[in-house]
Amino acid sequence: MNHPSLFSRRAWSGIAAGVVVLAALPLLNLFFADGHALHVPSYMVSLIGKFMCYALAALALDMVWGYAGILSLGHGVFFALGAYAHGMYLMRAIGRDGVYQSDLPDFMVFLDWKSYPWYWSGTDSFWVSLALVVLVPGVLAFVFGFFAFRSRIKGVYFSIITQAMTYAFMLLFFRNNTGFGGNNGFTDFKRILGYSISAPGTKATLYLVTLAVLVGALVLCRWIVKSKLGRVLQAVRDSESRLMFIGYNPLWFKLFVWTLSAVLCGIAGALYVPQVGIINPSEMSPANSIEMVIWAAVGGRGTLLGPVIGAFSVNGLKSWFTGAFPDLWLFALGLIFILVTRYLPRGLAGLVRKEQA
């Protein structure tokens, strides 16, 4: 399942070229006026920024599914929790610029809340918000994973309970009395760190930070996979019982990669929310988690780079398809998954490797 050729010198050259092209897009948007041949529209910068957040989530999923053999159908909850954690700061940064000109978010005023609930404490600080982006998905994943892995729940049973978890959180966040905006969620953000969130310079900065985090996460994950820890994780995937026989306890290895994956997914969500401008409970829909699995499968699980390619490819196709044939996208997505499973079991990354061989 592991494809060393994807990280050959030629592959790194391709990655570097891709990074340069992606980094150039917001600069072309800023420095060339609308109508110029080199101008990149603002909507394209936002769209590619969103794709990079999805790519980071797909990379996170690949660490647990591709390398540890743990299929999660609930990573959408970690993505959404990271987005909500950052969204709490963005909502408080609106200040009195909301519709009701109150210190409270508009949805709290509408529901006749008189003050922030206790779990909003400290969220007016950007740095507290960043800590929550890491801690909330991380702690949930650690606790959930500890009891699941200690009970030796695996395979389809584990996948089902992860899907049940994200569905339960979705229903919880849809409730108005939870203090997270109900079905509307968080939106209408005004500023981040004092800068207008709609300003072209702010959008370009968020985009470049997302690109830097994606590249950093790819390097980190590759380092883990190539280390002794990575080899143990692959042994968990290939034969967990044999690993236990030679003296390893797979619990802590699985728990580590599961928690790391959740944290990376939470960071992806935190980068997503200021660029897209909204987060609501629909991001926790089980369908969203299943889409992440499709990104990894299409790109090629167990390759790290493959899920990144898959996220860009599937979402790029989705953007075009939903504009041209909006009612047929889910059918097309299902067909893509069937065709990839049948004819490209190793995904797009496996196809590249085959051509290079």
Residue 1 pLDDT grade (very low, low, confident, very high; cuts 50, 70, 90)? very low
Residue 194 pLDDT grade (very low, low, confident, very high; cuts 50, 70, 90): very high
| Residue whose tokens read 């507290």 | 128
Report the pLDDT averaged over residues 334-351: 85
3-state DSSP call for residue 192?
strand
User: pLDDT, tens digit, for every residue of 271-282?
Assistant: 999 999 999 999
Q: Decide: helix, strand or coil at residue 353.
A: helix
Q: What is the mean pLDDT of the chain?
A: 92
Q: Which residue is listed with tokens 């966040």?
A: 173
The DSSP annotation for 121-176 comes to: TTTTSHHHHHHHHHHHHHHHHHHHHHHHHHTT--HHHHHHHHHHHHHHHHHHHHSG
pLDDT per residue as tens digits for the range 219-263:
999 999 999 999 999 999 998 889 888 888 999 999 999 999 999
Q: How far is CA 236 from the centre of its chain?
A: 24
What percent of the chain has a predicted confidence (pLDDT) above 70?
96
* Amino acid at site 348: L
Question: Is pLDDT above 50 for 5?
Answer: no
Does position 346 have pLDDT exceeding 60, yes or no?
A: yes
d(CA 242, CA 252): 16
Residues 210, 57: Cα–Cα separation, whole Å: 12
CA distance 42 to 154: 44
Place of tokens 């989705």: 318
Closest C-alpha to 258, from 119, 331, 159 = 159
Q: Is the pLDDT of residue 352 over 90?
A: no
- At 68 the pLDDT is 93
Token pair of 271, please? 């980068």
Nearest to 202 by CA among 216, 191, 215: 191
Query: Is 11 a residue whose pLDDT tops 90?
Result: no
Query: What is the pTM for the complete model shown?
Result: 0.94
Pairing of strands 195-196, 191-192: antiparallel
The β-bridge partners of 196 are: 191
The structure tokens listed for 300 are 């090629």
**What does the pLDDT read at residue 6?**
47
Query: Where is average pLDDT lowest: 10-24, 126-140, 182-196, 255-269?
Result: 10-24
Write the pLDDT tens digit of every residue in 259-316.
999 999 999 999 999 999 999 999 999 999 999 999 999 999 999 999 999 999 999 9
Can you read off the two tokens belonging to residue 83?
């987005």
- Which of 97, 84, 96 is closest to 123 using CA atoms? 84
Q: Which two three-digit tokens encode residue 157?
A: 């049973």
Q: Can you tell me the mean pLDDT for 88-105?
A: 92
